[in-house]
Amino acid sequence: MAEVQGFLFPRSATGKSSMIPPPPWHYCGDVLSVEYRTDPERVAELLPTPLELDDEDPGRVAVAFLDLQSCSDSFEELLDPVCSQYRECLLVVRVKYQGQRYTRCIYIWVNQDFAMVRGYHQGYPKKLGSVYLTRPVTMGKAGPRLAPGGRLGASLAAADRRLIETRFTITGKSDTAGILFSLPGLHHRWMPAVESDGTQSMDELISVGGYDFESSEIWTGDVELNMFDSPTEEFTRLAPREILGGYYRSVAFSWRQGKTLERRLPAS
């Protein structure tokens, strides 16, 4: 019998059925983010050992909405857009590990299965959701201009419930885009053992970071942010105490591999 092929499941004789192709993966798209301060203790409760709170503004959180397109080195996905286009919403904080600073995605929702499974490989705790983000335009009336006064909105829903919504009014350009993409990411890859006895068959602390990063000019502005309770979510424990600002820009980057920082082997 021949060995089955594919970067991830389902593996097959040809490998074409795999949920995702092998890296490198290339990304580009638009990002609307809102940053705020919350109770640092609520951030700390989400950090497993050996992670620590960042000692610089430990309660700082970024909520980001992304409208993205991605592909592998074959670029075939770009000719079949259902395999390349997706949207996601994520919450990001800053953490420390062995004296080094990282960002950490603590919650994330995405609207495509291939992006969700790819995120599991990279250590992102992705769930399915419905994400929308206003697209700016250069002509006509059916969209805002990227200029002072332009207004954009974004929303997240999951399990038939509206979870997060924001409105952003551009006031001018910015020299910074906040904490998003500012540091390498620090994530976990977990998989419970099939015996379901409380042990893990995979328990890894990993670092991920991209290359060939590009950014457009950055717009800042006034923001409104609303979060709504849900019986299946906990992110409102990170409710805002103070809104710090909002940012909009386009980004592009590539990803090939991460780095395993700690690996806890299953008990024999």
Q: What CATH topology corresponds to 25-263?
A: Acetoacetate decarboxylase-like (2.40.400)
Structure tokens at 8: 């991830």
Instruction: Give φ, ψ of 73 to 5 degrees.
Output: -70, -15
pLDDT digits (tens, 9 = 90+) for 130-182: 999 999 999 999 999 999 999 999 999 999 999 999 999 999 999 999 999 99
CA nearest to 89, candidates 136, 34, 170: 34
pLDDT at 105: 98
User: What is the value of pTM for the model shown?
Assistant: 0.96
Q: What amino acid occupies position 194?
A: V
CA 198-200-202 angle, 5° bins: 170
Mean of the per-residue pLDDT values of the chain: 96
Q: What amino acid occupies position 126?
A: K
What mean pLDDT do residues 92-101 have? 98
Number of helices and strands (H, E) in the chain? Answer: 2, 15
- Under 8 Å between Cβ of 59 and 36: no
The four Cα atoms 106, 109, 110, 115 give a dihedral, to 10 degrees, of 30
Domain boundaries, the chain: 25-263
